[in-house]
Structure 1
């Protein structure tokens, strides 16, 4: 699933490619992608609309049209591509925004899990999935004291707690594993048992890992590419995720993979020991 760094890379790519373009026509080839309004209304309302800005909140893309906001979630495999009209339409293309300049923005999704929702202008932050999100992982809005206080209220294992997006948004399976590795915290460590030092290290690691991943354009494990067709580069910097059996870069112990809350989880059993 694209996580915050990948979605941010898609946002910046779309900003370069489609900003200012005006819709002439919309083809919806798989209606279930459109969450609201009804497909016919979705198409009708977008005709003549221009993309004024591209925003992001957590893992959600927000298209700022002339008179509407459009919230888009890529889910597991969703991606956007820009083509010229007349170019072959690839398999798994489900929505096509045709612009007046002859270019097209195409949404592709192998699993068809992605969703788009058209909303009144400047109301995207009221979208049901967005209202539940924690702060963005930047020090200006994600501050240590509230994070520390929230951790003390939860006995749940730290990894699934971070995946909930409520304490801080944007962390998925890859970056939780990486942040916990950097902070030397076991993924099953109860959140309320973290020491003050561990909380500080985790806080700093979350900010650091996501910032570096954004700078690298995200992580390409299988199919992810940004709107420019470029793969991410952060996979070369991974220390735990996907490195089962590889020596830990700190101590040389083999990285192991287990399941935590039904999610594949990678960590160093020597550097990330659980304590009670």
Structure 2
């Protein structure tokens, strides 16, 4: 699943491709990609102009004046620019057809991604954004906020970070990475972390998100930005996807377990409970 660095990379590459373009019409080839009524989606967007492409955590927000399209890529969602009349691939589910003859298409092999049309300003009340904590690497994600939030939660730290409810934007890749960097066992209850561990984890989260974004995100399976390019942070990964390989810090082989149904790779020696 694209995480915050990948979605930010998509946003940055989408912005010059679509901002200022006016929608002639919308074609929907798979109705379930829309949260809400597909016909209303098409009708309301006709004639609207893209004014900005924003992001919150793993969600894209296409701004069209008084309306906003909130897009969650989920596992495999991708956007790319083409033309109205280009052949439709079986994995393409929607296109914004622009008045200049170009079109922005949404493709999704797994069909898990969703787009929702809302009134601008209501996105944090009526979409999945309402359930999220503050963004990683943001002014709101202060050390004090993080410490207080952790003290109130007894679930293991891996599951808490994956839940998005305290801090939003990290997924399986970056959670494994920041826990390894902080020498924290993923099964440790959040409210049992020491002050030093919390401080280290807070810094690791911010620094990792910033660095991964600088490298255009991580392409492990199929992530591509809006220009069809892969990310490069996979070359920097220390633990994710490296089960059975030696830990670069101590030489102990990494192990992989499941936590809340998600594969979790860590070092038994460096990340003791």
TM-score under structure 1 length normalisation: 0.96
Aligned residue pairs: how many? 273
Structure 1, unmatched stretches of 5+, are none
CA distance in 2 between partners of 1:264 and 1:207 (Å): 23
Identify the residue that residue 76 of structure 2 maps to in structure 1. 77
Task: Output aligned runs, 1:159-178, within 5 Å.
Answer: 159-178=158-177
Q: Distance in 2 between matches of 1:125 and 1:13?
A: 24
Question: Partner of 1:95 in structure 2?
Answer: 94
Give a deviation string over 1:93-132, Cα, whole Å, max 9, x none.
0001110111110000111111111111332232331122
**Cα distance, 1:255 vs structure 2:** 1.3
Q: Which residue of 1 aligns with 2:204?
A: 205
Q: Which runs of 4+ in 1 moved over 3 A?
A: none
Q: Matches of residues 128-207 of structure 1 in structure 2 within 5 Å?
A: 128-207=127-206
After superposition, what is the alpha-carbon deviation per residue over 1:236-257, rounded to whole angstroms, capped at 9, x for unaligned? 0001100111111111111111
SS of the aligned residue for 1:221 comes to coil
Does the CA-based 8 Å contact 2:137-2:205 persist in structure 1? Answer: no
CA RMSD of the aligned region, Å? 1.1
Q: 1:206 offset after TM fit, Å?
A: 0.7
Task: Find out whether 1:124 has 2:109 as its counterpart.
Answer: no
**Whole-Å Cα distance in 2 between the matches of residues 133 and 204 of structure 1?**
20
- Over residues 153-182 of structure 1, what are the superposed CA-to-partner deviations in whole Å (9 max), with x where a residue is unaligned? 122110001111111110101110001011
Q: Deviations over 1:11-45 (max 9, x none)?
A: 11110211111111111000011112x11111011
Is the Cα–Cα contact under 8 Å of residues 180 and 186 in structure 1 kept in the other structure?
A: yes
Distance, in Å, in 1 between the alignment partners of 2:205 and 2:189 is: 17
Helix, strand or coil for the counterpart of 1:51? coil
Moved more, 187-196 or 78-87: 78-87
Specify the alignment match of 2:53 in structure 1. Answer: 54
The unaligned stretches of length 5 or more in structure 2 are none
Q: Indicate the residue corresponding to 2:114 in structure 1.
A: 115
CA deviation string 1:38-69 (max 9, x = no partner): 11111011111010000001111100013311
* Secondary structure in 2 matching 1:40: helix
Shift of 1:86: 2.6
Distance 2:44 2:159 in 1: 39
Tell me: CA distance 1:44–1:228, structure 2 relative to 1, closer, same or farther (3 Å). Answer: same
